[in-house]
Amino acid sequence: MLKTVFISLSIIFLAGCATVDEKPKPTSVTKSKEVKMVKPMLKEHKMFQTVAKKDAILVQKGDKKEHCAICGMNLVMFYKTSHVATDSNGTAHQYCSLHCLADHLSQGAELENPQVVDVTSLKFIPVQEAYYVVGSKKRGTMSKVSKYAFKSLDDAKKFQAQNGGKIVDFYSAWQIAKKDFHQ
State which H helix or E strand residue 92 sits in. Answer: strand 92-95
Strand partners, 85: 93
Average pLDDT, the chain: 83
Parse the chain into domains and list their residue ranges.
2-44, 53-182
Q: Helix crossing, 98-106 with 170-179: angle to 10°?
A: 70
Digit-coded pLDDT (tens) for 39-62: 554 455 589 999 999 999 999 999
Give the strands of the sheet with 147-150, arranged side by side.
147-150, 131-134, 166-168
Phi then psi for residue 178, to 5 deg, are -65, -30
Decide: 132 and 173 in contact? Cβ < 8 Å: yes
Q: Is the pLDDT of residue 34 over 80?
A: no
Q: What is the pTM of this model?
A: 0.75
If one compares 173 and 23, the residue with the highest pLDDT of the two is 173
- pLDDT, tens digit (0-9, with 9 covering 90-100), for 67-89: 999 999 999 999 999 999 999 99
Polymer length of the chain: 183
d(CA 138, CA 101): 20
